[in-house]
């Protein structure tokens, strides 16, 4: 059963600022219109940053190419969350690591954003680990290991072109609400990029 508007209003009132913000900038599109209005009202009454309301609106409309590209350049012009470098445009890459333990073979793909040099380092570390530890599982170690190695090498080559990778474009598109809400705050953008690198594993 759907909660009544009173119940919803109370739920929003009881959410701490960070949870309320997270709901607004990531899940607004899944809320029904009345719920959205309540959420916006609650954000306003707390005096939270107006960027959050903009972050809601971005999720409700399909963003056009111009907007997408402006978010992509914004993200790419941040300093590298790993080394702090600002001289190069950031990019994103997936690095695959295969580890085999007895008969089990684990294939993990880690998503990271950073300057090309840091992305390459992450990629090389994954490649080395895979080359040393991937082969020992039968049969999947023998299948997954070359697969991951080939993909990592391709990723590393693509980083040389300095074009925004597809995976960066996907990331920006999927997180448009968050990016819109914090686009004027470099510090928040840094926190977002650091968090992405620390936890995100990509299943695709
Ligand atoms: Zn870096």
Are 121 and 161 part of one and the same domain? yes
State whether 115 and 15 are in the same domain: no
- Residue 204 counted as domain residue: no
**CA dist., res. 125 & res. 97, Å (int):** 9
Q: If you measure from the C-alpha of residue 79 to the centroid of ligand 1, how many angstroms do you get, rounded to a whole number?
A: 8
CB 102 within 8 A of CB 138: no
Mean pLDDT, residues 54-83: 93
- pLDDT tens across 149-177, in order? 999 999 999 999 989 999 999 999 999 99
User: How many domains are contained in the chain?
Assistant: 2
Question: 171 C-alpha vs ligand 1 centroid, how far in Å?
Answer: 18
CA-angle at 75, arms to 154 and 196, nearest 5°: 70
Among 15, 34, 61, residue at a domain's last position: 61
Which of 59-63, 66-70, 115-119, 177-181 comes out lowest in average pLDDT?
A: 59-63
Residues 90 and 19 in one domain: no
Is 67 inside a domain boundary?
no
Q: How many CB atoms are closer than 10 A to CB 143?
A: 15
Query: What distance in Å separates the CA atoms of residue 160 and residue 58, rounded to the nearest whole number?
Result: 32
DSSP 91: E
81 and 165 fall within a common domain: yes
Q: What is the mean pLDDT of the chain?
A: 92
Residues 77 and 36 in one domain: no
Q: Where are the alpha helices (DSSP H) in 15-88?
A: 17-27, 33-45, 50-60, 65-76
If 0-12 CB within 10 Å is exposed, 13-18 middle and 19+ buried, where does residue 17 land? exposed
How remote is the CA of residue 190 from the centroid of ligand 1, in Å?
Answer: 13
Q: How far away, in angstroms, is 136 Cα from ligand 1 center?
A: 33
Question: Is 89 inside any structural domain?
Answer: yes
Identify the helix (H) or strand (E) that includes residue 108. Answer: strand 104-114
pLDDT at 128 over 70: yes
Question: Which residue segment(s) compose the domain that 29 sits in?
Answer: 5-61
- Cis peptide bond upstream of 139, omega within 30: yes
Q: Same domain, yes or no, for 34 and 112? A: no
If you measure from the C-alpha of residue 175 to the centroid of ligand 1, how many angstroms do you get, rounded to a whole number? 22
Q: What band does 201 get if pLDDT is binned at 50, 70 and 90?
A: low
168 occurs within a structural domain: yes
* More confident position, 19 or 62: 19
Pair 150, 108 in one domain: yes
Q: How confident is the model at residue 82, as a pLDDT?
A: 95
Q: Check pLDDT > 90 for residue 1.
A: no
Q: Is position 102 within any domain?
A: yes
138 pLDDT higher than 90: no
Residues 52 and 78 in one domain: no
Mark whether 95 and 185 lie in a shared domain: yes
Q: Distance, CA 83 to ligand 1 centroid (Å)?
A: 4
Pairing label, strands 91-101, 104-114: antiparallel
In which band, very low, low, confident or very high, does the pLDDT at 204 lie, cut at 50, 70 and 90? Answer: very low
23 domain-assigned: yes
Give residues with Cβ within 8 angstroms of 46, minimum separation 6.
Answer: 17, 20
Under 8 Å between Cβ of 197 and 81: yes
28-65 pLDDT, tens digit per residue, is 989 999 999 999 999 999 999 889 999 999 888 888 99
Ligand 1 centroid, distance to 87 Cα (angstroms): 10
Residues 76 and 168 in one domain: yes
């Amino acid at each position: 059963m759907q909660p009544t508007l009173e119940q919803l209003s109370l739920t929003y009132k009881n959410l701490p600022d960070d949870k309320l913000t997270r709901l607004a900038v990531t899940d607004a599109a899944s809320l029904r219109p009345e719920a959205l209005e309540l959420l916006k009202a609650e954000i306003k009454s707390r005096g939270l940053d107006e960027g959050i309301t903009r972050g809601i609106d971005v999720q409700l409309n399909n963003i056009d190419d111009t907007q997408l590209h402006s978010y992509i350049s914004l993200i790419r012009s941040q300093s590298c969350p790993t080394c702090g470098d600002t001289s190069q445009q950031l990019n994103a890459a997936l690095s695959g690591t295969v580890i085999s333990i007895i008969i089990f073979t684990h294939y993990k793909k880690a998503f990271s954003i950073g300057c090309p040099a840091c992305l390459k380092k992450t990629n090389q570390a994954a490649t080395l680990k895979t080359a040393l530890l991937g082969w020992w599982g039968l049969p999947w170690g023998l299948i997954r290991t070359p697969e991951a190695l080939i993909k990592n090498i391709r990723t590393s080559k693509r980083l040389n072109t300095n074009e925004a990778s597809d995976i960066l474009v996907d990331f920006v598109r999927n997180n448009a609400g968050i990016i819109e809400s914090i686009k004027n705050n470099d510090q928040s953008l840094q926190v977002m990029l650091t968090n992405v690198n620390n936890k995100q594993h990509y299943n695709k």
